[in-house]
Amino acid sequence: MSNPVSIKRALVSVFYKDGLEPIIKKLHQLGVEFYSTGGTQQFIEDLGLPVTAVEDLTGYPSILGGRVKTLHPKVFGGILNRRGNNSDIAEIAEYEIPGIDLVIVDLYPFEATVASGAAEPDIIEKIDIGGISLIRAAAKNFNDVVIVSSKADYAPLLTLLEDKNGQTDIADRRLFAARAFNVTSHYDTAIFNYFNRDSSVDAFKISQGTSTPLRYGENPHQQAAFYGKLDDVFQQMNGKELSYNNLLDADAAMALIRDFEDTTFAIIKHNNACGVATRPTVKEAYLAALAADPVSAFGGILIANRKIDVATATEMNSLFFEILIAPEFELDALEILKGKKNRIILATDGFTMQPKQVRTLLNGLLVQDFDTFTETAADLKTVTTIAPTAQEVEDLLFANKLVKHTKSNAIILVKGGQLLASGTGQTSRVDALQQAIAKAAKFGFDLNGAVMASDAFFPFPDCVEIAKGAGIHAVIQPGGSIKDHESIDYCNNNGMAMVTTGHRHFKH
């Protein structure tokens, strides 16, 4: 059943008034009576239209500095009364409560106030009481009442009023109710998370109010969407729509590049770096990164932490890649790169990371802090009689940044601020090392003088034995194995330097 309802009376009290005027005018044209408060009442009066103050309806003024305005039976009775219930009809008549068929109410900007860095008293005052109560009441009584709970619903409401001449059916009202409960649940989650910043309450709540449908998920037969605001992360300057896999790779690329301050270029494939280099210029960094694995770079994700200039754009334009991410682009460089219409170009100057990393698992969620720890020279403990040289320390720290962002088990080989090769996602650390050595040889790299990073400790000396045979001079690893001494002893006996960090960097 459609259960049509004609809108005769509307309660309107909103914080955001942009886009409200045509709705008010259309409702007036349809003969709808208005009840309102404060600034919204003044807004309607300034349009030259009649409006009844809520204070006149209730017989009570706004009190407690505006904290109590609409919390009254004459307001909530008008919203919550069931039009087909004889007892409700009798009580409404007895207490002279006018029925309210439409509620247009939004909420104080709590999240924006928190984000602004406001003092706590100002934040607390932005916890809406009356507004959220009105929204819940109208949404609960969707059988008889339309609820518009945010400015995002202004346009759909106006279309509905114009198309149906002030009437709504049950499907319309149910949809608006669903949107309203989405608004209130998101709002309450934001307030809870503000109060639970120290995690004193054993609960985890997350709410993302907007979504971007994706063409498909990891594979074409999987549906997918991104929940969040991509526009807050980057500006898309060219190319097709981002896919699920594009977003995973872009996230991996941005997490990696965040750990580098010097001019650095990275190439990502399936969430792992296949080329990274730090050089004086972006072009030099790009060429050194590409040299590490020009085969895997095909169809990869490229990222730099400096502006892309014409020289770099010209050099990379011949490579087929999915995405290029950088903080800025020279205009002429951008024109060169836009020559391929599907090539995705993203400009980003950073964004606020989510505080927690979340993964669905079994019948629940896994939640953890992000691995944001990045070692410095002060964190390195030399455990061998031979200490690494200054250049080796630079390379060890470079390699350790990369191994942190590489799927376990992971081994990274570096020399001169350049990734030479990596062993990624292997079930054996020895296999990861052998994979890296073979890859370095494939692309013609001399490993003599290179350094090695491992994401976890060495339970046996086999890896340092293999590394020595390949020409590697220095090793960085977390340490912590009960057999650490075996690897350390081998290094001491074979002229290798080893440092430990005390921090493991597994990535699964």
pLDDT along the chain (508 residues), means of 10: 81 91 93 91 93 84 75 87 88 89 92 92 91 94 94 92 88 94 93 89 83 91 91 92 93 95 96 96 97 95 97 96 96 95 92 83 89 93 97 97 95 97 94 96 96 95 96 96 94 97 93
pLDDT score, position 6: 85
pLDDT score, position 62: 77
Contacts of 134 (CB under 8 A, 6+ apart): 11, 13, 70, 75, 76, 79, 103, 105
Contacts of 340 (CB under 8 A, 6+ apart): none
Paired strand residues for 273: 268
Which residues carry out catalysis?
Answer: 140, 270
| Chain centre to alpha carbon of residue 106 | 25
Closest CA to 262 of 288, 225, 228: 288
* Residues 156, 161, 167, 173, Cα dihedral to 10°: 20
Contacts of 448 (CB under 8 A, 6+ apart): 471, 473
pLDDT score, position 66: 73
pLDDT score, position 411: 97
62, 37 Cβ separation under 8 angstroms: yes
Question: Crossing angle of helices 154-164/170-195, nearest 10°?
Answer: 170
pLDDT score, position 353: 79
The DSSP letter of residue 389 is: P
Of the chain, the percentage scoring pLDDT greater than 90 comes to 77
**pTM score of the predicted model:** 0.84
